[in-house]
Amino acid sequence: METGVGLQIGQGEDPVAMLEFSDDCHIWYGELRASIGKIGNYSAGVRWHRLGGRARERVYRVTISDPIKVVMRGGRLLAREGIGQ
């Protein structure tokens, strides 16, 4: 995600990305938050770790808190089999 694109003042000054997930696209869980970075903070990274659960058919939804320019450059999911399953 392109970071450091917040606004100078007011709404959008410190934007946040919120991640939710669903296994059936009807009930959503999470709303895990990550800062997109204040204006000029281009080194900020938007990442979520340890999402847990069984994700075979899981769907993710990202919502942005403020009216700013949003550019998603790509996504990557690293998964490994859990212990004790």
- Whole-number average pLDDT of the chain: 79
pLDDT at 84 over 60: no
Q: pLDDT tens digits, residue range 15-46? A: 888 999 888 888 898 888 988 888 887 877 78
Where along the chain do its domains lie? 1-72
DSSP state of 81: P
Say if residue 82's pLDDT is above 70: no
> Do 2 and 41 touch, CB atoms closer than 8 A?
no
For the stretch 43-63, pLDDT in tens is: 777 877 777 666 667 888 888
Per-residue 3-state assignment (H helix, E strand, C coil) for 47-59: CCCCCCCCCCCCE
